Structure 1
Amino acid sequence: MTTIRPVFGKSDKRAFIDIAYRLNADDPHWVPPLRSEVEGQITPEKNGWFSHAEAQLFLAERDGRVVGRVSAHVDTLALTMPPEQGFGPGCGQWGMLEAADGEAAAALIAAAEDWLRGRGLSRALGPISLSIWEQPGLLTEGFDHAPTVMMGHNKPEQQSWIEAAGYRPAKELVTYELDITHEFPPLVNRIIAAGEKNPRIRIRRVDKSRFGEEAAIILGILNDAWSDNWGFVPLTPPEIDDVGKKLKPIVFEDLIRIAEVDGEPVAFMITLPDLNEAIGKFGGRLLPFNWAKLLWWLRAPHARTMRVPLMGVLKRLQASRLASQLAFMMIEYIRRDAIAKFGSTRGEIGWILDDNQGMIAIADTIESRINRRYTIYEKALDA
């Protein structure tokens, strides 16, 4: 019989982290995350998301052995968002699901739902781990290759377990991949060339010596550009501080561009070398010697894959030809540097909402293809 209990204390937290490594050890495409990163994610003092959210972690046990885990959480900012954008009043979430079998999964999801009901919530979205900005959605397509940095990966069985609990798809997210060693189609190159002749446009690298100022510019554009998107919750100052600390070691000036028009920053593109290529064999641990290997890699990363986790252009420009032109220019400039300075051959863009026609059009025009699909599920919670 499976029993569920809340996580209390350091030993429970350690068990909550450890179970993912045990259950996924036989999956050749699962990349063990750094344990320190997971610990930071679930610790309120280390994750700015908790400044506006509350979470409860649960463990599943059977015959004295941990057989699964789940998180249940309510985000007070998400409750204030328009319901047509995914969250809204009465909406809670759960995530970080790991289970040895369907019985454990069903019990864990039921425990998360009970916790949400206890806080007066009437609808559940999941999996979301923990913030929509971290690892949203269940992988439902693309199990045959490893995820890139900051992307989730799970076993295929989870889909049937979640759907058996009464959940139905609410939104799909996709990632696109492309061979970046090939030049883009002639039409794209003509658009880029025209932009280069326009004296109003400037595409610049970020200045890492002014990291705080540059991050503020990018996140200001992001909160404006994404504000109408499904699932949007604005990033708060504590989260911005934490994201900056987390990303700074893998931020390289050649891989991040800010687009200015008449001197005003109006768009950005962030690209990250695929850290998973470096940490894949670490088993989630930096000690005793993996920290030195990681530092050596970070000095001059040679990464096959570059991931574009975030792009954005101010809302007032999004329906204009200028928006696409700026996007193509940033993509092309970063593509060149990724090949020349990092030895990269492959790009991954996403995640992208499956109804984001602007980004889908850009992805199609540069001849990329969908390689992974994630699904966020929803369910009405009866009283």
Structure 2
Amino acid sequence: MADTSLSIIPVTGKADRKAFIELPYRLHAKDPNWVPPLRSDVAGTIDPKKNGWFSHAEAQLFIARRDGRVVGRISAHIDHLALEMPADQGFGPGTGFWGMFDAEDESIAKALIATAEDWLRDKGMTQALGPVSLSIWEEPGLLVRGHDHPPSVLMGHHPAEYQAWIEARGYAKAKSLLTYELDVTGAFPPLIQRIIASGAKNPRIRIREVDKSRFEQEAEVILAILNDAWSDNWGFVPLTQPEVDDVGKKLKPLVFEDLIRIAELDGEPVAFMVTLPDLNEALKPLNGSLFPFGWAKLLLWLRKPKARTARVPLMGVVKRLQSSRMASQLAFMMIEYIRRAAVSKYGATRGEIGWVLEDNQGMVAIADAIDSKINKEYVIYRKAL
């Protein structure tokens, strides 16, 4: 029997956008491990003028109301670059997405997902993947393991019941994305230390800090390595310059030169590692708002951040070196040099690496070699339309 009190409408105006943004703050208020994002950041994510992803993508947001009260939300979206990717890499022709998903109960979840699927079908899509919010580079996947501790910066957190609600709609796992945590206060195993020491003596290798005064040029170097290094990975969609420009504006305050390294081989940049102090530790008490005093607290933290966790959201080695001993040596050197800085300067005691594709053997081997353990698992689901 249809729920006549439930209506799902497309987000069209300012009031609807505000309702879309506000819902999670009410739904997850009692979850001690949910970190409220800054409302201004969420508003920027869904604004085509502030998110470079929209230069190659389109999206429709929906909100669900029951008896006039907002009780759910979802996005349906198409990334036109994803449509151009090879189908054997996960996306390809006919691939649509949904994300930014929240619902009070399963009946609302069912109606929201069906609405997103209908929108994708109307656009000619033949399969739906989700949740992906909005870009694969933003917050992909549903948290299915690791609900007992908060996510680190730029990672999502979802109620455990969402897994059953999504799977009941006929969705099956397409891929798991893993994050690994490790104690960074102590030295790595002796074998890893010897590999690092050997690399330090190699005149062909230089591990350097980024130069924040050359922010745009350094971002170009990292982007070039990233798009080469990840190009054969499942779910890869090239990062574009408009995206990098907008993400750069957002993350520039979190760029600390000694936490981001570029590896050069014979003078050529061939690898990089980006590490961020865990901004979520500073954001959690602000409840998503910089006013009235949140902006001052955040500004003070950014001037001299102290964070228990340092997260590595991105790293890459150019394709021609992958699967070589040199690749792992460069990775271990960057990890170690950043580890030292994170502990001594930022007070970190814990590192987090990821996300990492579950079948990325090279990264999984590196994570295992430094005694890190899986702490969270995110699943991207797939369904034929």
TM-score by length of 2: 0.99
Rounded to whole Å, the distance in 2 between the matches of 1:160 and 1:370 is 22
**Alignment partner, residue 317 of structure 1:** 321
Structure 1 position 228 matched with structure 2 position 202: no
**In the alignment, is residue 101 of structure 1 matched against residue 108 of structure 2?**
no
- Aligned residue identity for 1:215: A
Q: Look up the match of 1:20.
A: 24
Matching residue's letter, 1:324: S
* CA distance in structure 1 between the partners assigned to 2:359 and 2:272 by the alignment: 21
Q: Which residue of 1 aligns with 2:354?
A: 350
Partner of 2:196: 192
Q: Distance in 2 between matches of 1:91 and 1:213?
A: 33
Give the residue type in structure 2 aligned to 1:77. Answer: L
Q: Which residue does 2:212 correspond to in 1? A: 208
> Secondary structure at 1:104's aligned position in 2?
helix
1:340 aligns with 2:353: no
* Distance in structure 2 (CA, Å) of the matches to 1:35 and 1:85: 34
1:78 counterpart = 2:82: yes
User: 2:117 aligned to 95, 113, 116, which one?
Assistant: 113
2:285 alignment partner, SS class: coil
Residue in 2 that maps onto 1:263: 267
Q: Distance in 2 between matches of 1:127 and 1:214?
A: 31
Does structure 1 residue 251 correspond to structure 2 residue 255?
yes
Q: Secondary structure at the match of 1:73?
A: strand
SS at match of 2:286: coil
Structure 1 residue 60, shift from structure 2 partner: 0.7
- For 2:76, what is the secondary structure of its paired residue? strand
1:10 aligns with 2:14: yes
Q: How many angstroms apart in 2 are the aligned matches of 1:196 and 1:14? A: 52
Q: Separation in 1 of the partners of 2:124 and 2:261? A: 44
In 1, the alpha carbon distance for the partners of 2:47 and 2:104 equals 24
User: RMSD in angstroms over aligned alpha carbons?
Assistant: 0.5
* SS of match in other structure, 2:72: strand
Aligned to 2:316, the other structure's residue is in SS state strand
Q: What stretches of structure 1 of length at least 5 have no aligned partner? A: none
CA apart distance, 1:125? 0.2
Quote how far apart the aligned CAs of 1:243 are. 1.3
Q: Distance in 2 between matches of 1:90 and 1:111?
A: 17
Match of 1:91 in 2: 95
Residues 54-81 of structure 1: CA deviation (Å, up to 9, x unaligned): 0000001111101000000001000000
Residue 251 of structure 1: how far off its partner (Å): 0.5
Structure-2 separation of matches of 1:19 and 1:247: 25
Cα offset, 1:3, TM superposition: 1.4
Q: Hey, what's the Cα distance between the residues in 1 that align with 2:316 and 2:249?
A: 21
Q: Please tell me the residue identity of whatever aligns with 2:124.
A: G
The question of 1:281 aligning with 2:247 is answered no
Q: Distance in 2 between matches of 1:263 and 1:46?
A: 36
Which residue matches 1:137? 141
Match of 1:380 in 2: 384
Task: Kindly state the Cα deviation for residue 123 of structure 1 after the two structures are TM-superposed.
Answer: 0.3
| Number of residue pairs aligned between Structure 1 and Structure 2 | 381
Whether 2:72 is the aligned partner of 1:68: answer yes
Partner residue of 2:371 out of 367, 371, 383: 367
SS in 2 for 1:45: coil
Whole-Å Cα distance in 1 between the matches of residues 333 and 68 of structure 2? 57
Quote the Cα distance in structure 2 between the aligned partners of 1:86 and 1:24: 31
Residue 240 (structure 1) shift: 1.0
Give 1:105 shift: 0.3
- Classify the secondary structure of the residue corresponding to 1:199: coil
TM-score, reference length from structure 1: 0.99
| Deviation at residue 154 of structure 1 after TM alignment | 0.4
Distance in structure 2 (CA, Å) of the matches to 1:139 and 1:224 = 28
1 CA distance for matches of 2:213 and 2:65? Answer: 49
Letter in 1 for 2:188: F
The partner residue of 1:166 within 145, 170, 180 is 170
Three-state SS of the structure 2 residue aligned to 1:46 is: coil
Q: Tell me the equivalent position of 1:183.
A: 187
- Give the CA deviation at 1:288: 1.1
Which amino acid is the alignment partner of residue 379 of structure 1? Answer: K
Q: CA deviation at 1:182?
A: 1.1
Distance in 1 of aligned mates of 2:105 and 2:262 = 46
In structure 2, the residue matched to 1:218 is 222
Unaligned segments of structure 2, at least 5 residues = none
Q: Give, in angstroms, the shift of residue 319 of structure 1.
A: 1.5
Q: Name which of 46, 49, 59 aligns with 1:42.
A: 46
Q: 1:198 offset after TM fit, Å?
A: 0.4
**In structure 1, how many angstroms separate the alpha carbons of the residues matched to 2:157 and 2:311?**
15
CA distance in 2, matches of 1:254, 1:30: 29
